[in-house]
Amino acid sequence: MDQRFTDGFWHSADGLKLHYRDYPGPSDADQPPILCMHGLTRNARDFTLLAERLSPEWRVIVPEMRGRGDSDYADDAGTYDVSQYVADVEALLAELGIERFVAIGTSLGGLMTMMLAQRGAERIAGAVLNDIGPAIEPGGLEKIRSYVGQGRSFPTWMHAARALQETHSDAHPGYQLEDWLQAAKRVMVLGQNGRISFDYDMAIGDTFREGEDAGGAPADNLWLAFESLADTPLLLVRGELSDLLSPDTVRQMKTRNRAMELATVPKTGHAPTLDEPEAVAAIDALLARVRTQENA
């Protein structure tokens, strides 16, 4: 299949060369682009199916945060925090001349979405928070700390898939071996030494374990950041089995933003891939709403 995106690069304020995928969309598109932001240890490949599905009608931009994928690793591991990622994305938006966009953020990317809203919600034409909210369950964070940054490598893709299954089967109990193989190819790469390893800087794990919150997010301000989306078309996607986003937090979010739509993905934990039928239908409905409002 032909590659549907072009590779782009931009530079952070501290000199890192950072990578993004740009799915151009139709030449006559008059709606804002979609900005997809990945999770803690993930990369642009997480959004391949979503971007390919949406790009016939929307421009889709998928940045890779510092230390992931084809973006440079940071010399200072202390810069692996949410505030820095937001600053990096702000630099990308400025370079591309994007003044208004739809944000889709998975986990860490959802925290970034809330913080971007706090810095200027009028820019955000619509938002999707994927399995994340202003309150994060300690048990879910502890599970992430148990595996992030371990630096494991594998001789074959089958070994890599089995390792993911061992760690994450509770989040995706319905996955078959082929699903785990696809998951492995999203989060790992084949290195020059012939070994398969995770596609991120292991120092991210050190920074994450040292923090008391989600990798540097200012926890006390996250509810205020969430409330910045009060006038923005908003969708929350939650995995039914999520250990990071509790039903109680969802209820609180709904109380504070009654216009927020909720889509629950059954038999799925942290985090939905956004390719599930429930997520697809909900995202399409949100984008239809955005298009109507933008053209009003």
pLDDT at 206: 87
Note whether 30 and 164 are within 8 A (CB).
Answer: no
Output the pLDDT for position 209. 76
DSSP symbols for 7-22 = EEEEE-TTS-EEEEEE
Give the structural domain span for 257: 6-137+216-294
pLDDT-derived band at 161 (thresholds 50, 70, 90) equals very high
Select the more confidently predicted residue: 221 or 83: 83
Please give the Cα distance from 64 to 242 (Å, whole number). Answer: 24
- Tell me which DSSP letter residue 44 carries: G
In a domain? residue 13: yes
Q: Where are the alpha helices (DSSP H) in 4-156?
A: 48-54, 82-96, 108-118, 138-147
Q: Is residue 210 part of a domain?
A: no
17-36 pLDDT, tens digit each: 999 999 998 887 789 999 99
| In the predicted structure, residue 289 carries a pLDDT above the cut 60 | yes
| Domain count within the chain | 1
Range with the poorest average pLDDT among 19-28, 160-169, 261-270: 19-28
Cα 38 to Cα 61: distance, rounded to the nearest angstrom: 11
User: Do the domain assignments include residue 146?
Assistant: no
Domain contains 69: yes
pLDDT greater than 60 at residue 212: no
Give the pLDDT of residue 253.
98
In the prediction, which pLDDT does 190 show?
A: 96
Q: How many other C-beta atoms lie within 10 A of the C-beta of residue 7?
A: 11
Instruction: Please determine, for residue 102, whether its predicted confidence score (pLDDT) is greater than 90.
Output: yes
| pLDDT category of residue 91 using cuts at 50, 70 and 90 | very high
- Check whether 163 has a pLDDT greater than 90: yes
Average pLDDT over residues 79-85: 95
Would the pLDDT of 199 be above 90?
yes
208 in any annotated domain: no
In a domain, 129, yes or no: yes
Question: Which pLDDT belongs to residue 112?
Answer: 97
Burial per residue of 236-273, b for 16 or more beta-carbon CB atoms within 10 angstroms, e otherwise:
bbbbeebbbbbeebbebbeeebeebbebbbeebbbbbb
DSSP state of 267: T
The whole-number pLDDT of residue 3 equals: 83
Domain CATH for 251:
3.40.50.1820
Give the range among 13-17, 33-37, 208-212, 260-264 with minimum mean pLDDT.
208-212
Residue 215 — pLDDT band, cuts 50, 70, 90?
Answer: very low
- State pLDDT tens for residues 269-283: 999 999 999 999 999
Residue 221 is predicted with a pLDDT of 83
pLDDT, residue 213, reads 52
CB neighbourhood size of 168 (10 A): 17
Kindly tell me if the per-residue pLDDT of 2 is higher than 80: no
Instruction: Answer whether residue 127 is part of any domain.
Output: yes
For the ranges 86-90, 220-224, 251-255, which has the lowest average pLDDT? 220-224
Query: How crowded is residue 151: how many other Cβ atoms within 10 Å of its Cβ?
Result: 8
The whole-number average pLDDT for the span 150-170 is 96
Q: Give domain status of residue 130, yes or no.
A: yes
- pTM of the prediction? 0.96
